[in-house]
């Protein structure tokens, strides 16, 4: 038997609670009537900020009873879920939004009138506007031990070596198969003709607090310890932010520009402060191989470099005069020649270097399997081509190309007082070869290393060999880090000969 209208209203009102259930239980039917009545609200839309917002709406109706429900009950609440004829004020509360912008709706229904909808929209949570400053104790500028300009410092750097696949390794210093860096290893490197070391470093995986970009003190101190090994050997040392998970490298874009500049500033304030006491033997590098393909991205990269320079300088002390290194687009020589037409501004004159890398031709230096567009090269150099394995001879990127590329960096930077650091170069060993093929390959590889060092030096470019250490098949290792011995005497001697 159908309930009377009076009993229905009493039953329906018993369901209403403040911020409570949005509708009565399923057995309570909306009253039906063949007469069309009016059901009106004073607002058909509500636009809310990301904070909790309450809005009054006024419902005017001559229906016997009406109900209210929402399609997003988790964040849209109202003070009552139904009412009767007359004028009723209902408070609509939109809860705080900590995520992206969102929309929803409220619907008023009655069997005696057409339903009415109220559209709800809410703004997204604000984007973090910045991290706290880590330049908490800036010092007065200190020129002691910092007397060399970039050009004068470049003249002191002869041959550099990368501690590859170690302090930038995802998962920790030993995660990619190399032992922890020891003073004995650095002593070995120095004793074998290198007077500079590049330390690729990751930082993002060593966050103490991701919300504030605070780095772990123990990691900052570990990097400082390794830097000290180098300085104790009277070696020049370059500290960078390497690939680091790609947060900067893979996001040289307008969309990420502001966010990345905030992190760049926070990281370099902490790194620079930790290493501030070292003299001119220590150089800082803004990034590693930032992916840049066009002028728009180049402008973003320059903003990252500008943030780096400003952050380091702001910490004062010896950092006020430290030589700083900025990377070309993808550290590719041709892209750098085309796109890096301006440099960031430094308030200290003559303390900047540019950085590029060199793995040309790729098919000889790094390619480890054939592709449909080309084969691996095993033999490089006009005097080192194979007559029995001719399909593996280099067909481009040989002596003339090296000469041309290095000369372009000399013209673009070196001749204008900006030294160029060849932060990485090298060529892997093809250990699957045997017999005469292996002998010819290793000889051509040694010639490549010698030629690169010789031509880099001739053009005022500072060569740093990439050594991945005890990983894989020792494809690039000069030193065996497990026992601190020379692993590849042929390659080592070739690079030394290139300096002569």
* DSSP state for residue 460 in the 8-state scheme: T
CA dist 136 and 156 (Å) reads 33
CA dist 457 and 358 (Å) reads 14
The answer to whether 384 touches 443, Cβ cutoff 8 Å, is: yes
Q: Which two tokens stand for residue 51?
A: 């904070």
Looking at the DSSP bridge assignments, the partners of residue 68 are 108
Question: Which residues fall within 8 angstroms of residue 252, CB to CB, at 6 or more apart?
Answer: 290, 291, 292, 297, 300, 301, 304
* Burial letters 428-439, b for 16+ CB under 10 A, else e: bbbeebeeebee
Q: Which two tokens stand for residue 484?
A: 């601190």
Q: Which two tokens stand for residue 29?
A: 């039917």
Rg (CA), the chain: 34
Is 424 designated active site?
Answer: yes
Residue keyed to tokens 């229905």: 8
Burial of residue 229, with CB atoms counted within 10 A of its CB: 0-12 exposed, 13-18 middle, 19 or more buried? buried
* DSSP state for residue 330 in the 8-state scheme: G
Q: Which two tokens stand for residue 57?
A: 């709406």
Looking at the DSSP bridge assignments, the partners of residue 116 are 108
Burial of residue 408, with CB atoms counted within 10 A of its CB: 0-12 exposed, 13-18 middle, 19 or more buried? middle
The answer to whether 445 touches 492, Cβ cutoff 8 Å, is: no
* 182 to 155, 159, 305: CA distances (angstroms): 28, 20, 31
Is the bond preceding residue 488 a cis peptide, omega within 30 degrees?
Answer: no
The answer to whether 90 touches 59, Cβ cutoff 8 Å, is: yes
What is 334-382 written as a DSSP string? HHHHHH--S----SSTT-EEEEEEE--SHHHHT--S-BTTBPPP-B-ST
* DSSP state for residue 31 in the 8-state scheme: P
Q: Which of 168, 280, 289, 355 is catalytic?
A: 289
Q: 87, 90, 85, 86: which is closest to 107 by C-alpha?
A: 90
Q: Which two tokens stand for residue 269?
A: 């304030």
Is 128 designated active site?
Answer: no
Looking at the DSSP bridge assignments, the partners of residue 48 are 122
What is the CB neighbour count within 10 angstroms for residue 369? 6
How many Cα neighbours within 13 Å face the side chain of 394? 26
Q: Which residues are catalytic?
A: 289, 424
């Amino acid at each position: 038997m159908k309930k009377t209208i009076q009993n229905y209203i009493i039953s329906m009102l018993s369901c209403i609670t403040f911020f409570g259930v949005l509708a009565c239980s399923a057995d309570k039917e909306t009253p039906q009537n063949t007469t069309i009545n009016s059901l009106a609200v004073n607002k058909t839309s509500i636009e809310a900020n990301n904070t909790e917002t309450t809005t009054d709406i006024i419902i005017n109706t001559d229906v016997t009873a009406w109900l209210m429900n929402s399609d997003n009950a988790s964040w849209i609440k109202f003070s009552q879920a139904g009412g009767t004829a007359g004028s009723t004020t209902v408070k609509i509360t939109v809860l705080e939004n900590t995520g992206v912008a969102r929309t929803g709706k409220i619907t008023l229904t009655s069997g005696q009138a057409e339903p009415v909808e109220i559209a709800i929209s809410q703004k997204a949570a604000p984007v973090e506007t910045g991290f706290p400053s880590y330049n908490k104790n800036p010092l007065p500028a200190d020129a002691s031990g910092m007397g060399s300009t970039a050009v004068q410092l470049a003249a002191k750097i002869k041959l550099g070596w990368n501690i590859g696949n170690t302090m930038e390794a995802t998962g920790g210093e030993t995660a990619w198969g190399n032992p922890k860096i020891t003073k004995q290893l650095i002593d070995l490197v120095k004793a074998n003709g290198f007077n500079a070391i590049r330390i690729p470093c990751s930082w993002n995986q060593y966050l103490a607090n991701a919300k504030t970009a605070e780095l772990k003190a123990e990691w900052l101190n570990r990097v400082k310890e390794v830097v000290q090994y180098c300085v104790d050997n009277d070696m020049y040392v370059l500290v960078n932010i390497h690939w680091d998970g790609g947060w900067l490298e893979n996001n040289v874009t307008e969309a990420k520009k502001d966010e990345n500049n905030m992190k760049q500033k926070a990281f370099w304030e902490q790194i620079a402060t930790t290493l501030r006491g070292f003299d001119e033997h220590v150089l800082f590098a803004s990034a590693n191989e930032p992916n840049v393909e066009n002028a728009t991205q180049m402008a973003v990269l320059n903003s990252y470099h500008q943030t780096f320079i400003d952050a380091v300088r702001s910490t004062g002390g010896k950092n006020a005069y430290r030589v700083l290194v900025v990377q070309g687009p993808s550290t590719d020589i041709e892209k750098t020649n085309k796109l890096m037409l301006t440099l960031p501004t430094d308030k200290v004159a003559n303390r900047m270097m540019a950085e590029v890398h060199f793995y040309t031709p790729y098919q000889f230096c790094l390619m480890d399997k054939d592709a449909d567009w080309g084969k691996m090269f095993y033999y490089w150099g006009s005097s080192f081509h194979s007559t029995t394995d001719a399909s593996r001879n280099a067909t481009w990127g040989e002596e003339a190309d090296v000469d041309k590329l290095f000369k372009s960096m000399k013209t673009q930077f070196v001749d204008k007082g900006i030294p160029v650091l060849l932060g990485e170069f090298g060529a892997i060993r093809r250990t699957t070869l045997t017999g005469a093929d292996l002998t010819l390959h290793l000889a051509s590889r040694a010639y490549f290393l010698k030629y690169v060092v010789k031509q880099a030096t001739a053009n005022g470019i500072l060569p740093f060999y990439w050594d991945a250490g005890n990983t894989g098949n020792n494809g690039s290792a000069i030193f065996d880090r497990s026992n601190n011995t020379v692993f590849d005497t042929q390659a080592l001697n070739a690079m030394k000969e290139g300096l002569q």
